[in-house]
Structure 1
């Protein structure tokens, strides 16, 4: 644990002892990375802001059971964001399903829809592949591959053995490689006319 991690653990301890400034400092410390992770999962600024707020609210609400990894709250926050993003996607899907049943006239695409349409195909394929993962696998990928945490730390946070996490991660990588194999194949390969 380095000085930054021990300083964060001390800051969290102050928050647990009802120091009102400590939680604000923790928010300032992690808000940008938490938001980026939420945006990466949802591709929508407003939804990412909502999920970021939810993660910090849960941090405070569940403060007595929060697990700190190597002196940092960030891994816990990232897993919470992943779970909140899944809930937001399900809620949005239900809402859209309801709206699709309603009669409507032709309307132009929103700015957000146009932005998503302009994303490269790889981004859409990767997003779909990530959304298809079960929550535990998605959290493992987020912590180890996207955020660079050691497997043992991610395993500890996700309450699994490091060996089990390593095996799961290997399987996930293999499946993602298979799922995304044709996405960027050289011209004439991977796409059928």
Structure 2
């Protein structure tokens, strides 16, 4: 059976009754989409893999309370990916801060900075990631569901547990905020480029 043949509405009750095989099918059905979404929100493939793993760990842990919309939990998984990626970013910042206050030790040169620079050289991706990280949680959730993952506003409203009109107004404001942040990030990058 391929993932296209998987009947998610029939799979969910079995998954909720602690069936690891059914959960494995649910994982196979949604892992690629969750990974692609996590990759948009994180700095590396490795971070996106970590986020994806944590999302499905949380899904297993909370399998009885996953919110289902039109027979699917993909919206719930995507919003969980938003939350997990924000937690990972916070944890990374705290870790970097702790490292910055420790005394420097003389070690052999590490080539990881060059690799990071090469991976981070995609200016558009960096600008989008930066802008998305600066959005309020509500804006990120509604943009993730409606724009990036192309769920309908009705589906997003059901996933988020709010009225349809609320999703529409949040989506309009979120698009405007994202456009402003992208413009701000692009101007800042151009200014930094001029200074080099």
TM-score (norm 1): 0.85
Compute the displacement of 1:102 (Å).
2.2
Compute the displacement of 1:191 (Å).
5.2
1:135 maps to 2:122: no
1:78 maps to 2:78: yes
Structure 1 stretches lacking a partner, 5+ long = none
Q: Deviations over 1:55-80 (max 9, x none)?
A: 11111111111111111111111111
Match of 1:154 in 2: 156
2:34, 2:77 within 8 Å by CA — same for their partners in 1?
Answer: yes
Match of 1:125 in 2: 127
Q: Deviations over 1:82-118 (max 9, x none)?
A: 10000000000000111112233575414233211x1
What is the distance in 1 between the residues matched to 2:125 and 2:168? 25
1:136, 1:158 within 8 Å by CA — same for their partners in 2?
Answer: no
Compute the displacement of 1:182 (Å).
6.4
1:140, 1:165 within 8 Å by CA — same for their partners in 2?
Answer: yes
Q: Which has the higher helix share?
A: 2
2:15, 2:63 within 8 Å by CA — same for their partners in 1?
Answer: no
Match of 1:99 in 2: 99
CA RMSD across the alignment:
2.4
1:62 maps to 2:65: no
Q: CA, structure 1 residues 51+183, in 2 after alignment: closer, same or farther (shift >3 Å)?
A: closer
Match of 2:36 in 1: 36
What is the distance in 1 between the residues matched to 2:182 and 2:51? 27
What is the distance in 1 between the residues matched to 2:76 and 2:170? 19
TM-score (norm 2): 0.84
1:115 maps to 2:122: no
2:16, 2:63 within 8 Å by CA — same for their partners in 1?
Answer: yes
Runs of 4+ in 1 over 4 A off after TM superposition: 105-108, 182-185, 190-193
1:5, 1:72 within 8 Å by CA — same for their partners in 2?
Answer: no
1:23 maps to 2:62: no
Q: CA, structure 1 residues 184+48, in 2 after alignment: closer, same or farther (shift >3 Å)?
A: closer
Query: More displaced, 140-149 or 151-160?
Result: 151-160
Structure 2 stretches lacking a partner, 5+ long = none
